[in-house]
Amino acid sequence: MTSDAMTVRKMSAADVFAAIASREPLFILDVRNEDAYADWRIEGPSIASQNTPYFEFLEGIDPVAGQLPPKNDAVLVVCAKEGSSQFVADLLMEAGWARVAVLAGGMRSWSEHLHPVHVSELPSGGAVYQFLRPGKGCLSYMVVCGDEAVVVDAARTFQVYLDFAEAQGWYIRNVIDTHLHADHVSGGRMLAQACGASYWLSPQDASDVHFGFEPLVDGQVLAVGDVPSLIQVVHSPGHTIGSASLIVDHACLLSGDTLFVHSIGRPDLAGQAQSLGAELRRSLYTTYKSLGSELLVLPAHFAEMSEINERGFVGARLGDLYRNNAGLNVPEESQFLKMVTENLPQQPHAYQDIRLTNMGQLMPEPDQLSEMEIGPNRCAVHG
């Protein structure tokens, strides 16, 4: 039995992200099964990790001692929900490892953690905030002007946006999904209901939804605060038939899953890869080309921690992406269509059920929602 003096310390998901963001060295002992670790784990430029499944510790420390770091090293033990890591951490401390912690809530808490970052002030006086979800590589946004706010591509754990807005004295008036998501359960409708906001979705993506919404259409403008057209809607099909991008105050482009910093959106998740691939090319090679190279592209996903820039957010100038993003530099249409329809990464975990949930056709229990979202996002042509 571990004494009170040897109580295992807990690190929150926020603590872990702070360590990664500051490039603090962190050794992680992941005790999940090998397949779970291979599919998805905590990564970062200063992270060292090792997978030794929980069951290998059932006979004690001795059989695996040769696999473990020196006893004076700090170790963070990670599992799916925390229970197994607590067991292993107790064994480590009893065996002489003094600097041991567990990830509170396990990988489920890592999957759900959201971290707000100020991106930029806007020419009209507003501001844009990015909410990083490092465990899923998801990005959502809050656009504010005066005392009004718009939330874009909200995560399921929507209370974060309510708390953030309340702390600043802002009121969430509109909630937008840039498209019908397939890799995570949208919190958009729930957030809109919670704060009495309008919920917006492209009608092309909403033909089978079981709820009401405001139609998000090409060329539409939305007022925020006292600026009547702070947000302009640009139809950018390809990832889905209804995918929309949002130009914010002629300064930022919220690109949804159409364009990422290091890749482009995949067109196959709705089962229309060939036709949507052609739409995707038009959106990227024609529509976006006309928008202006100085726009700051703010996507809905990222693949690696290295995409987070020195200011703490994920984004890049559109002109720079046309120079550096391989997906924007495929001269032949046939070659492009082959790239976006063949040899794609594995599809997102439970993506069909996630789509149905986001349509309002499934109503999973909270634990089921968490399980559906476990794993990385896979919305890009390249990981």
| Residues recognised as catalytic | 79
Cα–Cα distance measured from residue 302 to residue 283, given in angstroms and rounded to the nearest whole number:
20
Instruction: State the Cα torsion 363-368-374-378 to the nearest 10°.
Output: -30
Could you give the 3-state DSSP secondary structure of residue 224?
strand
- Which tokens in the block code for residue 210? 């079981």
Sign of torsion, CA 313 300 289 268?
A: positive
Q: Can you spell out the DSSP letters for 323-345?
A: HH-GGG---SHHHHHHHHHSSPP
Cα–Cα distance measured from residue 46 to residue 105, given in angstroms and rounded to the nearest whole number:
22
Report which of 337, 354, 330, 356 is spatially closest to residue 267, judged by C-alpha positions: 337
AA letter at 276: L
**Helix (H) / strand (E) containing 285:** none
Give the other-Cβ count within 10 Å of 164's Cβ: 19
Q: Sort strands 316-317 and 296-299 into parallel, antiparallel or unpaired.
A: antiparallel
| Separation of CA 131 from chain center | 8
Q: Sort strands 100-103 and 9-11 into parallel, antiparallel or unpaired.
A: parallel
10 Å CB burial of residue 279 (0-12, 13-18, 19+) is: buried
Cα–Cα distance measured from residue 58 to residue 359, given in angstroms and rounded to the nearest whole number:
44
